[in-house]
Copies of this chain bind each other. A is one copy, B any other.
Amino acid sequence: ADDYVTKPFDDIELLNAIESRLRKSDLMKKEFSKNVEGLNEFISSAKGMEDLKKLSETREIKTYKKKENIYQEGSYPRGIYFVNAGKVKTFKTHELGKEFITGLYKEGDFFGYLALMEETKYIDTAEALDESEICFIPKEEFFSLIFRNAEVSKRFMKMISGDLSDKEEQLLKLAYNSVRKRVAEALVTLTNRYKKDGETNFSMNISREDIANLAGTATETTIRTLSGFKDEKLIDIKGGTIAILDYEKLANLRN
């Protein structure tokens, strides 16, 4: 964990990441245009705050191989992580190996702030899904950014609150939706997270196990469900790669 490289760090980048998250969730709530105004206003005001700018001088960067752990359940957080490039998942582990994926991240996202906020050990594990370049932002740096300014605090709280709403929605769906719906939802979530803007014929290389752990179901059941989707021409499967053929139908399944 000591092969970090020191590089200049600009707070604005972190703020942008918060904003980006807020923007995305607002987008889903179809309030995008309204919030873009507030966003730009905020970014420029933040830029004006000189005390924010000089907060932190360095950041550490590290490259993680596919399947490499970034942090592990039970260890203590020293800061937060920011994805420069690649893909990351966070998951919780159930008795004897079953996993449930709690978060998916890509370039521009940050993760690992929950344990930091709570001042406890990590209660989940972060792992690279692809080879990834992750930068580390020390605790003090992060906290001073978050708490020095009430507006930033507010933004950050809004973001966490959004996360909380999402989890509650997820609980409802996990409780009462069929596996079929949940697997479709997992594909939709993966598409929303990893499809690049303007990209058509989106496909991804993700293990059946990860999809199962996102849907909270057995791997075999997931595979069968995916085969069903393939028969229905909702997706295409070539080797380990899944192509989304009909996003709309997947997102609006009857049952």
Contact = CB atoms under 8 A, between A and B. Distances in A.
Interface string A87-121: 00000101100101010000000000110011110
A157 interface: yes
Given A157-B153, A216-B175, A167 B167 contact: yes
A114 B216 contact: no
Contacts of A117: 157-158, 161
Contacts of A170: 171
Nearest to A121: B29
Given A153-B157, A165-B123, A176-B94, A171 B100 contact: yes
* Copies of this chain in the oligomer: 2
A161 B158 contact: no
A220 to B, nearest CB: 15
Interface in A133-163: 146-148, 150, 153-154, 156-158, 160-163
Given A94-B176, A118-B165, 7 more contacts: A98-B176, A123-B168, A147-B153, A163-B164, A164-B167, A167-B168, A167-B171
